[in-house]
């Protein structure tokens, strides 16, 4: 009799050792797959095979946390519940930190399962599993439940690491894109100060933390004429910067061959449409000044109106058209023409100047800007730009929500 008992004990020990060896082999295979960066669907399939064939688990639901809710990434056996139903079960289980029996549970969904397996990291619930049609009992039960929890935990950690890796790659790509956008933008906006006998130019560019699409330019066309532009490309990052670069090259090319601004803007609109298929647009103010005739021609294409200061009066320049890149054909186009008096100041800006993250914007709007220009229009361009930003910082207790670009000209 004693020999039979000894034999039975040895058989049980051998069975336990073989079971432990199988468990270690399963974990090893899963770990190797993870180290090879095996796709997530394959890892889930491996998990299901181990549960079905090795542990004889007949019904399984595996939910993982994402943005405060749980998404079911593996399910087999029995009638499949809806995602909403499975999420609601968490309210009954969120205080349980170790494998727990569900047989006889009051909830009409949970009572269909045998065990609940939670996965936590510190105090954060990462995932949980529901095990059903699972008949292991006795001494092997705790061992099997712990093994299932360990196996699921390994999978969850792998998925978390994949997620973190993707986020890191995305952050690195975004950072590199921003660096490239800055490089492109710096190449496109070399001008800070320009002085000659007939005109003095002062520019100020204040980038926001996200690289936007502000652009300005000033260049001579011939002995008597010069042209300038201030623009804002929709969007952020390298795509906006590249569109801006293409726009600058097109503007310089067209300005060299076209006599009137109307033709320049019409052709610029077609170029932007062809490049973006209507998915991006550009607002701009484009002007050409003839020092001999003292004529200023301009077109405002959906941009913040440039302000002309002359003899104590500030006037917005609004004639033009809609933004370019939005329509195949511009619905209307009116070119403005003005005689410029000696000593006039012309102030150009982008919409970042008017948009602030503040509740105190009643102290700052386009009428207040016109008043400021009228009061300070005798300053030279650089002094004017500095005085304006100092004034805004005083009256608006907030931060700009976009790039700010100022381009100010004094015409003698």
Q: What is the pLDDT along the chain (412 residues), one digit of tens a residue?
A: 455 555 565 665 666 666 677 777 888 888 888 888 889 899 999 999 999 988 889 999 999 988 778 889 999 998 888 878 887 777 777 788 889 999 888 888 899 999 999 998 878 888 999 999 998 766 678 888 888 898 998 999 888 888 888 888 777 776 666 666 666 666 566 555 566 778 999 998 887 655 567 889 999 999 999 999 999 988 776 677 778 888 888 999 999 999 899 999 999 999 999 988 878 899 999 999 999 999 999 999 999 999 999 999 999 999 999 999 999 999 999 999 999 999 999 999 998 888 876 655 677 889 999 999 999 999 999 999 999 999 988 887 767 667 889 999 999 8
Are 141 and 258 contained in the same domain? no
Residue 62 shares a structural domain with residue 115: yes
Closest C-alpha to 306, from 373, 376, 257, 363: 373
Tell whether 313 and 225 lie within a shared domain.
yes
| pLDDT value of position 193 | 57
| pTM, to two decimals | 0.61
The CA distance from 49 to 51, in Å, is: 5
Q: Is residue 180 part of a domain?
A: no
Range(s) of the domain holding residue 87: 2-167
Answer whether residue 78 is part of any domain. Answer: yes
Encoded tokens for 177: 């894109």
The CATH number covering residue 194 comes to 3.60.40.10
Q: Which residues of 287-322 are buried (b: 16+ CB within 10 A; e: fewer)?
A: bbbebeeeebbbbbbbbbbbbbbbeeebeebeebbb
- Do 158 and 260 fall into the same domain? no
Residue 347 CA to its chain's centroid (Å): 32
Whether residues 239 and 156 share a domain: the answer is no
In angstroms, rounded to a whole number, what is the distance separating the alpha carbons of residues 152 and 44?
10
Residues 6+ apart with CB under 8 A from 34: 43, 154, 158
* Vertex 145 angle, CA 141 and 149, to 5°: 170
Q: Indicate if 154 and 197 belong to the same structural domain.
A: no
């Amino acid at each position: 009799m004693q020999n039979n008992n000894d034999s039975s004990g040895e058989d049980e020990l051998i069975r336990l050792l073989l079971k432990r060896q199988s468990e270690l082999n399963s974990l090893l295979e899963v770990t190797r797959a993870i180290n090879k960066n095996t796709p997530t669907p394959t890892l889930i399939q491996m998990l299901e095979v181990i549960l079905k064939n090795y542990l004889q688990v007949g019904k399984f639901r595996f939910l993982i946390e994402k943005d405060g809710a749980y998404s079911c990434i593996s399910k087999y056996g029995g009638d499949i519940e809806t995602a909403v139903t499975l999420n609601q079960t968490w309210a009954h289980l969120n205080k349980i930190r170790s494998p727990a029996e569900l047989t006889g549970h009051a909830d009409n969904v949970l009572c269909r399962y045998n065990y609940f397996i939670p996965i936590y990291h510190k105090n954060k619930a990462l995932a949980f599993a529901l095990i059903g049609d699972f008949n292991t009992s006795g001494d092997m039960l705790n061992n099997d439940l712990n093994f299932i929890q360990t196996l699921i935990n390994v999978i969850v950690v792998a998925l978390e690491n994949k997620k973190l890796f993707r986020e890191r790659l995305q952050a690195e790509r975004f950072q590199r894109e921003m660096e490239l956008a800055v490089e492109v933008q710096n190449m496109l906006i070399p001008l800070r100060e320009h002085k000659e006998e007939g005109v003095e130019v002062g520019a100020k560019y204040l980038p926001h933390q996200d690289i936007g699409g502000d652009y300005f330019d000033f260049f001579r066309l011939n002995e008597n004429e010069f042209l300038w532009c201030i623009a804002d490309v929709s969007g952020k990052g390298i795509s906006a910067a590249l569109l801006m670069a293409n726009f600058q090259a097109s503007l310089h090319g067209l300005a060299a061959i076209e006599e009137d601004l109307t033709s320049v803007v019409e052709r610029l609109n077609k170029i932007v449409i062809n490049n973006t298929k209507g998915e991006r647009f550009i607002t701009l103010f484009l002007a050409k000044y003839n020092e001999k005739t003292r004529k200023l021609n301009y077109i405002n294409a959906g941009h913040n109106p440039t302000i002309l200061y002359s003899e104590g009066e500030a006037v917005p320049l609004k004639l033009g058209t809609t933004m370019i890149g939005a329509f195949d054909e511009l619905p209307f186009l009116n070119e403005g023409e003005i005689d410029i008096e000696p000593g006039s100041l012309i102030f150009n800006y982008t919409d970042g100047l008017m948009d602030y993250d503040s509740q105190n914007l009643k102290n700052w709007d386009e009428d207040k800007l016109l008043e400021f220009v009228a009061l300070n229009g005798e300053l030279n361009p650089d002094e004017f730009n500095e005085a304006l930003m100092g004034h805004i910082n005083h009256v608006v207790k907030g931060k700009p929500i976009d790039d700010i670009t100022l381009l100010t000209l004094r015409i003698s």
